[in-house]
Amino acid sequence: MTLKAHGTAVQSNGGPVAKRCESWTGDAHLALATLDDDALQARLLEGVSRTFALTIPQLPPELARPVSNAYLLCRIVDTIEDEVALDGAEKRVFCERFARVVDGSEDAQGLTTALSPRLSENTLPAEHALIAVMPRVIAITHSFEPEQRAALATCVATMAGGMAAFQDRDLSCGLATLEEMGLYCYYVAGVVGEMLTKLFCLYSPEIARHRDDMLGLAVSFGQGLQMTNILKDLWDDQSRGVCWLPRDVFEQSGFDLCELASSHDSDAFRAGFSQLIGVAHGHLKNALQYTLLIPAHETGIREFCLWALGMAVLTLRKIHRNLRFSRSSEVKITRRAVKTTIATSRLTRSHDSLLRGVFYLAGLGLPRAGKVHSPTPDTTDTSRI
């Protein structure tokens, strides 16, 4: 599953992002021109997301190529939306143009020429390089089968349009409701889950038999991952004047999100935050159900899902054990935890009962929600956004 990153630019001071930036300084990106398509996509993924550079290669080669491309397309949308040098109207125009580039109705080089000079120093060097080689990325997109291209184009158009709806809003006091938070998660992650499911179904008629069930669960999967990301990066986002938490949840516990500060020491805040951990945990339960619908012999696809799921559950555990954290680095899981997740996934990936047991044990002590629901534009009044 792919999701929008939060707080990326503030993870510096020698951290992973700083090291990633260092590898893209100078003329290093010029070497991209010498790479073949698969090597190009792998190199770009290493620059913009080490996590997905790790998980995508677990997929069968027939899937790894379009999924790599899809993630890069989504990161281009992210780059536009996060660019501080662009105002809301300009972001909408660039996103609309990019959606047309992906569906083939506009030239990629023209957009690259217009967008590249507008990117500021706040944008990662690897993302500058991604925009610079956009025509090659799009050429790869257009080399796929029509059904694959349609899945990617629909995802980009929905993501770009939905994310634009949240631009130019005062988010200093959070979103209005949990439902609205779910809608935001849909636009930045749930829609990607839908796209991945379509690609999985095109790859395997056996998977396609569960298409309808998987599409619904994919949105929940995406929301679980994105909510975990939002909770982890709460204070990094807050330092930039942005909050993605829902006011109604905290109002019920007696806390006003307009009073949010990293020096907080409020039982009412922690009560609302714990409730959101429970909601995220509920969505991750749906993510396990999604994964179990994938045939056990499709070990690569299962690992792709399980690694993301396992790391999210461990992150929720770390957050719940340290509700007074004030920086995302305090609740980031260790490399050892990542290695344990990978090893456990490989041992249990083909055994549904073992996977259920491991998920249960990993989630012991986490708050639990009832049946969770992921809103989409079909079930939610977006005029309120």
Q: Using one digit for the tens of pLDDT, what is the confidence trace for 285-325?
A: 999 999 999 999 999 999 999 999 999 999 999 999 999 99
Verify that 145 and 173 share a domain, yes or no: no
What Å distances lie between residue 163 and 7, 45, 90, CA to CA?
16, 22, 13
Q: Which tokens in the block code for residue 89? A: 């109207």
* Mean model confidence pLDDT for the chain: 88
Verify that 289 and 180 share a domain, yes or no: yes
pLDDT band for position 381 (cuts 50, 70, 90): very low
- Give domain status of residue 378, yes or no: no
Per-residue model confidence as pLDDT tens digits over 156-165: 999 999 988 8
pLDDT band for position 28 (cuts 50, 70, 90): low
Q: Is the pLDDT of residue 382 over 70?
A: no
CATH number, domain of 225, equals: 1.10.600.10
Verify that 131 and 241 share a domain, yes or no: no
Q: Is the pLDDT of residue 351 over 80?
A: yes
Per-residue model confidence as pLDDT tens digits over 131-175: 999 999 999 999 999 999 999 999 999 999 998 888 778 899 999
Quick check: 331 and 319 in contact, CB under 8 A? yes
- Give domain status of residue 380, yes or no: no
Task: Kindly state the average pLDDT of the residues 117-143.
Answer: 94
Sequence-distant (≥ 6) Cβ neighbours of residue 359 within 8 angstroms: 284, 285, 288, 309, 313
Query: Total structural domains in the chain?
Result: 2
Verify that 53 and 200 share a domain, yes or no: no
Q: Is the pLDDT of residue 109 over 80?
A: yes
Q: Of 167, 195, 229, at which residue does a domain stop?
A: 167
Verify that 195 and 142 share a domain, yes or no: no
pLDDT for the residue numbered 30: 62
Verify that 141 and 218 share a domain, yes or no: no
Verify that 96 and 32 share a domain, yes or no: yes
- Give domain status of residue 286, yes or no: yes
Per-residue model confidence as pLDDT tens digits over 190-208: 999 999 999 999 999 999 9
Verify that 27 and 102 share a domain, yes or no: yes
Is the dihedral angle over the CA atoms 124, 129, 132, 135 positive or is it negative? negative
- For residues 96-123, one letter each, b for 16 or more C-beta atoms within 10 angstroms of the residue's C-beta and e for the rest, the string is ebbbbbbbeeeebeebbeebeeebeeeb
The rounded distance, in Å, linking the Cα atoms of 203 and 291 is 16
- Give domain status of residue 4, yes or no: no
Q: Of 134, 167, 200, at which residue does a domain stop?
A: 167
Per-residue model confidence as pLDDT tens digits over 31-43: 788 889 999 999 9
Verify that 206 and 317 share a domain, yes or no: yes
- Give domain status of residue 51, yes or no: yes
pLDDT for the residue numbered 29: 58
pTM of the predicted structure, to 2 decimals = 0.89
Q: Which structural domain, as residue segments, surrounds residue 141?
A: 12-149+160-167
pLDDT for the residue numbered 9: 30
- Give domain status of residue 190, yes or no: yes
- Give domain status of residue 242, yes or no: yes
Q: Is the pLDDT of residue 331 over 60?
A: yes
Q: Of 118, 134, 167, at which residue does a domain stop?
A: 167
Per-residue model confidence as pLDDT tens digits over 237-295: 988 889 999 999 999 999 999 998 866 778 999 999 999 999 999 999 999 999 999 99
- Give domain status of residue 63, yes or no: yes
Verify that 195 and 140 share a domain, yes or no: no
Verify that 143 and 186 share a domain, yes or no: no
pLDDT for the residue numbered 263: 65
The rounded distance, in Å, linking the Cα atoms of 385 and 382 is 5
Verify that 133 and 182 share a domain, yes or no: no
What Å distances lie between residue 217 and 22, 49, 124, 244, CA to CA?
38, 24, 33, 22
Q: Is the pLDDT of residue 12 over 70?
A: no
- How is 264-294 classified by DSSP, letter by letter? ---HHHHHHHHHHHHHHHHHHHHHHHHHHTS
Coil, strand or helix: which one is 190? helix
Q: Is the pLDDT of residue 111 over 70?
A: yes
